[in-house]
Amino acid sequence: PATESKRLRIAMQKSGRLSVDSQALFASCGLKINLREQRLIAHVENMDIDILRVRDDDIPGLVMDGVCDLGIVGENVLEEESLQRQLDNHSFDYTVLKRLDFGGCRLSIAVPQEDEYQGAASLEGKTIATTYPRLLGRYLKQQGVNARVVTLKGSVEVAPRAGLADAICDLVSTGATLEANGLREVDVIYRSKAVLIQRKDLTDNKQLKLINKLMPRINGVMQANE
Ligand code: ATP
Ligand code: ZN
């Protein structure tokens, strides 16, 4: 049964912006992984570790529910899931072992190029499209702004042109996508990087020893990259 298996389970994004860097981090920590295409689980050949390759959105929940022991995910996705679970009275415990040096981006408010914007108050009564309704909701509440939040899982940047929203709140790294869609970044509401997280109730000695062996290697790799 799954509960008796003492192999350390690490969740990583299967394919996307965090996959290559996550894999590279594991490799530089000495994990020999056979990542055959389309496989959900990859066994590490030289350590008692299994790598689970999933959608990034599933990683916080897998760790918070104790189904995976460790996970690499963006703070934006992690914080959104935490806020959602707090509202749902669902468990949302985890420990951040390390803030990593990849996956950097910001969650920003953007408006059509020609629209005027004088701070958050300009959003009053407006409709804002986002994939991160809880992070945006928290920001609007802090700013004392009443706006309607529309949740879209994708194509957020086309929402204003499609007449679905007046503004958006979306992830930005270079700003090229915003520009291509006639939008202007006006406020940063959250700055994110990838983090390595651990489930709260991990007590197995063998697993804890393995983590204690991995952490100095991760720190070493990050120092070498500086
Ligand atoms: P999945 O199929 O796993 O759900 P996704 O399409 O939701 O993938 P990606 O676009 O691969 O996710 O982004 C994963 C994470 O990479 C983001 O949640 C964020 O933390 C980080 N990231 C870094 N730069 C950017 C960017 N410019 N746009 C979006 N995400 C970025
Ligand atoms: Zn996703």
If you average pLDDT over residues 139-166, what whole number do you get? 97
What does pLDDT average to over the chain? 95
Q: Is the domain 105-192 a CATH 3.40.190.10 member?
A: yes
- Please state the φ and ψ torsions of residue 55, each to the nearest 5 degrees: -60, 140
pLDDT digit string, tens, across residues 29-72: 999 998 776 789 999 999 999 999 999 999 999 999 999 999 99
Q: Angle at CA 140, nearest 5°, toward 139 and 142?
A: 65
The predicted structure's pLDDT at residue 23: 95
* H-helix or E-strand spanning residue 194: strand 194-198
Confidence at 5, pLDDT banded by 50, 70, 90: low
The predicted structure's pLDDT at residue 36: 73
Sign for the pseudo-dihedral over CA of 205, 210, 211, 215? positive
Q: Are strands 95-99 and 105-112 parallel, antiparallel or unpaired?
A: unpaired
Q: Kindly state the percentage of the chain with pLDDT values over 70.
A: 97
In our burial notation (b when 16+ CB lie closer than 10 A, e otherwise), range 80-101 reads bbbbbbeeeeeebebeebbebe
For the Cβ of 13 lying below 6 angstroms from any atom of ligand 1, the answer is yes
Rounded to the nearest angstrom, the distance between the alpha carbon of 55 and the centre of ligand 2 is 6
The predicted structure's pLDDT at residue 20: 96
pLDDT digit string, tens, across residues 116-146: 999 999 999 999 999 999 999 999 999 999 9
Token digits of residue 143:
């700013």
pLDDT digit string, tens, across residues 27-40: 999 999 987 767 89
Q: Is the domain 2-103+193-225 a CATH 2.40.50.1020 member?
A: no
The predicted structure's pLDDT at residue 37: 67
For the Cβ of 192 lying below 6 angstroms from any atom of ligand 1, the answer is yes
Sketch the domain layout of the chain as residue ranges: 2-103+193-225, 105-192
The predicted structure's pLDDT at residue 207: 97
Rounded to the nearest angstrom, the distance between the alpha carbon of 192 and the centre of ligand 2 is 14
pLDDT digit string, tens, across residues 84-111: 999 999 999 999 999 999 999 999 999 9
Q: Kindly state the percentage of the chain with pLDDT values over 90.
A: 94
Q: Which atom of ligand 1 is nearest to the CA of 13?
A: 3
Q: Angle at CA 17, nearest 5°, toward 13 and 20?
A: 70
The predicted structure's pLDDT at residue 4: 58
Q: Give me the residues near ligand 2 (ion), CB cutoff below 5 Å.
A: 56-57
Rounded to the nearest angstrom, the distance between the alpha carbon of 59 and the centre of ligand 2 is 10
ipTM, interface predicted TM-score of the complex: 0.97
CA distance to 57, 161, 177, per residue, from 80 (Å) = 10, 26, 22
- Proximal ligand: closest to the CA of 80: 1
| Same CATH fold assignment for domains 2-103+193-225 and 105-192 | yes
For the Cβ of 16 lying below 6 angstroms from any atom of ligand 1, the answer is yes
